[in-house]
Amino acid sequence: MSDRPIIYGIDLGTTYSCIAVINDIGRAEVLGNSEGDLTTPSVVYFEEDGNIVVGKVAKNSSKLYPDRTVSLIKREMGNPDYGFSIDGKDYRPEEISSFILRKVVADASALRGGEPITDVVITCPAYFGIAQRKATEAAGELAGLTVHRVVNEPTAAAFFYGATSVENQVVLVYDLGGGTFDITLIEVKEGGVRVVCTDGDYRLGGQNWDEALLNYLAEQFIEMNPGKGDPRDEVEVLQTLSIETEEIKRGLTAKEKDRANISFNGAKARIEVAREKFDELTADLLERTMELTASVIEEGRKAGIENIDRILLVGGSSFMPQVAARLSEAFTIPFDMFEPNLAVAKGAAMVGAKILAGEMIIDQLPEGVLEPDGSLNDVDDEALDEATRKAAEENNPLRLAPKDLKNLATIEFHDVCSKSFGVVQTNRDMTESVVFLIHNNSQVPQQVTQTFGTLKANQRSVHVRIMEQLGQVESPELEHNRLITDGELTGLPSGLPAGAPIQITFRLEADGQLDVSAVEPTSGAELHLQTKLEGVMTADEIEESKGILLSMQVS
């Protein structure tokens, strides 16, 4: 009998986070926090008494107590050079992110009458690399959660859209969040969602718009009050100005003009901001999103996608009127505001429900009916229907009817990798370059084998270095890529000629896990590598840190 917990979906955002679940009528529902809001600011404040505060209070303290507050930590995920030190302890990005996860989970649990929340799907930007994805997964583990999958944000939003849509269509997901931007082309068909291609910039988001507006207001104050100094230099004033800046940005969504009132050093300034001026100040940021959009559309054409039926606007920053105006100027494609703040979390909840539904049905299948790594869609209809009936009747935490349970479990869900992966090759002139085996926007899971040759005669070992693309495009130059793992293939037989074959196999899983093997075919000598990433906590480090972090009070 199945006894599996519900899998919740968490949008772990750069500026705001939220959590969702499939409710009693089979729909995705976002669960609010203890303050009554559906989203929680992704800000962590370390109080002097040791308590850790997450959310609105922390955000309001961020400029007053900058040395005790962490914002935008998502942008540092997987960064080996980042560390935050407070009260004699150093925190890594995934540790700080774990506090955000604990806050949204605790509040959701309270809203659900104290129901334990242990299992989750967490989202991340589509353009995150392996290190960033592993750090995201580690954050969940540090929060005491079982992370079933890390899913791309636009893919989650499109999965939510596609699973509730009755139309077959090609959808462009324009996802402008508080700190990241993703653009993803997706095919929605009956019974499945397929990602065609994706691109993005994980350091581009609404926060950049805020900074541009704040700097403009500060410069206007300086111009209007010569000799009174820069209001950005006083932390209390900067805190007030930051809050007012965000309010003005939101205000300009609904009206053509808004104003800021700045008091500093005995001087005051009343600064009017027109929407047109705000658009002018941030035009370069918007154009960056359009460049990436054009790139994805072109990649789609190469993949055979000539027509796009609809654009989905996702992410809280897509509320800004300039976004819709610019897209209307560039394209004749209709677009929808698709629950911008909530669609990603709802999609993650649906992915979690799909995973759970599949596991529940598999539990009821006779042994041997499902092949290892096989799909429920390959199972005989009669056996699948019977297993679904049992799953729905015996223990059904999703409370779905058999038909709905089956439909959810069998929705096909195909994603792509956002980075290219290759191996370092030594060329005849002794220079080194990266040869890519798996290319960005390739379907996952994927396995590729390529044969290389030894460099010299009688070579007894081979150093294998695996690289991940760093920039927006593939480059064979080593400095344009990141080393993610390496190892030594030893035990090669003596007497091998120069150029003796060495077979390298890459297998990239849907969750972003890359496994690498190298084989010398005559002797069978093998090397197996898994990504051991600089800047990402190991399993032992996670286990050691988890005990300490979970003992800390988070509110």
Cα–Cα dist 484/533, whole Å: 6
**Is residue 178 one of the residues assigned to a domain?**
no
Helix (H, G, I), strand (E, B) or coil at 175: strand
**Is residue 242 one of the residues assigned to a domain?**
yes
Q: What is the CATH number of the domain that holds 225?
A: 3.90.640.10
Q: How far is CA 409 from CA 21, 86, 387, in A?
A: 16, 45, 12
* Residue 501 pLDDT exceeds 90: yes
Beta bridge partners of 464: 487
* Residue 1 pLDDT exceeds 60: no
Q: What is the CATH number of the domain that holds 466?
A: 2.60.34.10
**First-to-last CA distance in the chain?**
37
Cα–Cα dist 344/175, whole Å: 9
**Is residue 177 one of the residues assigned to a domain?**
no
Q: Between 485 and 148, where is the model more confident?
A: 148
pLDDT band at 485 (very low <50, low <70, confident <90, very high): confident
491: domain range?
Answer: 421-530
pLDDT at 537: 87
**Is residue 445 one of the residues assigned to a domain?**
yes
pLDDT at 75: 92
Q: Average of pLDDT values for 225-249?
A: 91
Beta bridge partners of 449: 505
Burial label for 223, CB within 10 Å (0-12, 13-18, 19+), is: exposed
Cα–Cα dist 124/32, whole Å: 20
Choose one of 234, 250, 281: the last residue of a domain.
Answer: 281
User: What residue type is 243 in one-letter code?
Assistant: I
E strand map for 372-441:
412-416, 421-426, 432-438
Q: Please state the length of the chain.
A: 555
Cα–Cα dist 29/36, whole Å: 15
Helix residue ranges, H only, 73-197: 93-111, 130-142, 153-163
Range in 300-304, 482-486, 542-546 the model is least confident about? 482-486
Q: Average of pLDDT values for 380-385?
A: 90
> Could you tell me how far CA 9 lies from the centroid of its own chain?
12
Cα–Cα dist 365/390, whole Å: 9
pLDDT at 404: 87
pLDDT at 164: 65
Q: Which of 51-72 are b and which e, b meaning 16 or more Cβ less than 10 Å from the residue's Cβ?
A: ebbbbeebbbbbbeeeebbbbb
For 307-325, the pLDDT digits (tens) are 999 999 999 899 999 999 9
pLDDT band at 267 (very low <50, low <70, confident <90, very high): very high
Cα–Cα dist 492/472, whole Å: 37
For 386-397, the pLDDT digits (tens) are 999 998 988 788
For 287-304, the pLDDT digits (tens) are 999 999 999 999 999 999
Q: Which of 451-489 are b and which e, b meaning 16 or more Cβ less than 10 Å from the residue's Cβ?
A: ebebbeeebeebebbbbbbeeeeebbeeeebbebbebeb
Which helix (H) or strand (E) element contains residue 325? helix 321-330
Dihedral, 190, 196, 201, 205 alpha carbons, nearest 10: -20
**Is residue 235 one of the residues assigned to a domain?**
yes
**Is residue 162 one of the residues assigned to a domain?**
no
Burial label for 21, CB within 10 Å (0-12, 13-18, 19+), is: buried
Tell me how many domains the chain contains.
Answer: 2
Phi-psi domain of 430 (left: phi exceeds 0; alpha: psi -120 through 50; beta: other)? left
Structure tokens that stand for 537 in this block: 């906590």
Choose one of 281, 298, 326: the last residue of a domain.
Answer: 281
Do you find a cis peptide bond into 445, omega within 30 degrees of 0? yes
For 109-126, the pLDDT digits (tens) are 999 999 999 999 999 998
Query: Is the CB of residue 168 less than 8 Å from the CB of residue 189?
Result: yes
Helix pair angle (235-254, 206-224), 10° resolution: 110
Q: Average of pLDDT values for 526-548?
A: 83
**Is residue 524 one of the residues assigned to a domain?**
yes
pLDDT band at 360 (very low <50, low <70, confident <90, very high): very high
Cα–Cα dist 221/282, whole Å: 19
Query: Is the CB of residue 515 less than 8 Å from the CB of residue 485?
Result: no
Q: Which phi and psi (to 5°) does residue 537 adopt?
A: -65, 140
Range in 53-57, 102-106, 181-185, 492-496 the model is least confident about? 492-496
Closest of 12, 47, 6 to residue 142, by C-alpha: 12
Closest of 87, 79, 77, 117 to residue 101, by C-alpha: 117
Query: Is the CB of residue 95 less than 8 Å from the CB of residue 544?
Result: no
Query: Is the CB of residue 360 less than 8 Å from the CB of residue 396?
Result: yes
For 445-466, the pLDDT digits (tens) are 899 999 999 999 999 888 999 9
Dihedral, 216, 220, 226, 230 alpha carbons, nearest 10: -40
Q: Average of pLDDT values for 162-178?
A: 83
Query: Is the CB of residue 46 less than 8 Å from the CB of residue 86?
Result: yes
pLDDT at 165: 64
pLDDT at 163: 66
> Could you tell me how far CA 479 lies from the centroid of its own chain?
25
Task: Give the predicted TM-score (pTM) of the model.
Answer: 0.89
Average pLDDT, the chain: 91
Choose one of 250, 281, 312: the last residue of a domain.
Answer: 281
Q: Average of pLDDT values for 189-214?
A: 90
**Is residue 379 one of the residues assigned to a domain?**
no
